[in-house]
Structure 1
């Protein structure tokens, strides 16, 4: 095995900045706690950024794409070619995340880790060609260890580019037909939860389709049961290239000190994997929204995560996290720009 960089220590939260940000919140011209979670989010970001008045002017969004061999089992309502077609849509500006990135003034990076359309060569896309998608995990491991480590490193590389760009917040998104099947399988393995509780319609399966998808996941879990307690090999056995890249990105962000805003179900499963591999990652993760996939709620509860939004979203692409950015920015602006009682010559409540 190559050096396990993912086990390296994560950066420590700046406790002094947290204390000073909390003190500032108590001095602002409002009743204590009256801005609810906006206050705690600003304080949390202060600790992550190491400054009493945090800022989210620079946001980095990375979309990781990869195809899934398990699609051969008939688990998706969409054909696999859609993954490659959406890559073009991302860079042409027509996808939801493309619109959101423009509106936020965020950097948008698109990374193709390996699709079935292996001839793709799109300007504006980083094509890594780890493989023509993963193998069918209902018949064997989804990827080799070498492929898995390449995907982890791809996520790490994106996080390092974000750091170099001056990003204050990292959002990971995903694209890959069949990836809710992979995420559900991973969640079942990690949480030891019944498959029926964590399997949903994904891109729009009907009840019969969801039932079939659950049966495929059951078979896969039985096949890979021997390594179920090993988070890394569970990822390689059941995951996707894009899920592994998200794991690598989250790990690297925590190690380098960049706050992460986690998107929906698939990204939250990647976050859970990152935390299982290196528990020091957890304080660096904020969660954008609670999505409509049934498994998402279970994963968030396990991570003791309180998402910013709940809008019934199930698009992926990082879109739910991107939608939460304006609220986080406003939390920072309120925290940084409101006057204190002393500055505004407003009487505070008696001590």
Structure 2
């Protein structure tokens, strides 16, 4: 097939899922064209995917760059010139509307919902009506968790099929030998990785870490960058733990530090799925996370702990209990086995291929068929 894939290029889960799926599809022999404003950071350098940059002109007459129209134009040209047979967008806003504008029903459209495109932007009146119309006209819709699918039904009046995210367990694997680069021999290593948006609540991570430091010797590594990064570091300074917090703004190879961690921290206010937590499990690293969104669908007591959102005392206590547990080594092994068994990339790719085949034939798959 000749497939167009649309995504945001940053560290967020939607861009990771889209670019890695595009790569796997291309290696299966499909002709895949990936549309984004810049090369996605998680697209392998040797990928057979053809990158199609979306150039967004900035004219003074407009109050802001017109990304939606620029993307629609890029897709329309690719449909004409590259003979795309199907377009798969990741993150509905504004991708679903842009794809509908570009194709006018000429080829099937598949949209994957990832989280805040439903729960935050999706409920904004500025976007909801047009996005609902675009999603309702799609050939197929998927969501990355049951919770998100239910939210989409309420927000947009649609019934997406659920396809969970995948994780490359060859790339994300235990890396205990690297721990010495980030923590002293007698320190535990805690890691958080995200795009540092407000919904990730990185400030809460810092407050939790300060509580943990009162009981255990530990170091925190923050991986990634984004609008809340400076505020998080400021909180670390105000709490007097900045000497034990390391910030790695670059996230080209997050598996190197995640694989060295003792516990991974995820304090989000909402997660459609929680890709970074799954990547930690693949590295054999137990996860402590807030019980929000799709997280309860993959984080079990055998591989981590869930706490109520906002309960920072309970969060810190859960981390301390894991680090002090004589069963921590067994949990690490169970975490990796769990990720390998349930989130295999080839199995997930098979599910998307079945969605594509059904969309090409004008059929609607039942959730059980994916």
Q: TM-score range by the shorter chain?
A: under 0.3
| Larger RCO (CA within 8 A; separation ≥ 6) | 1
Q: Identify, as 1 or 2, the structure richer in strand.
A: 2
TM-score (norm 1): 0.26
TM-score (norm 2): 0.25
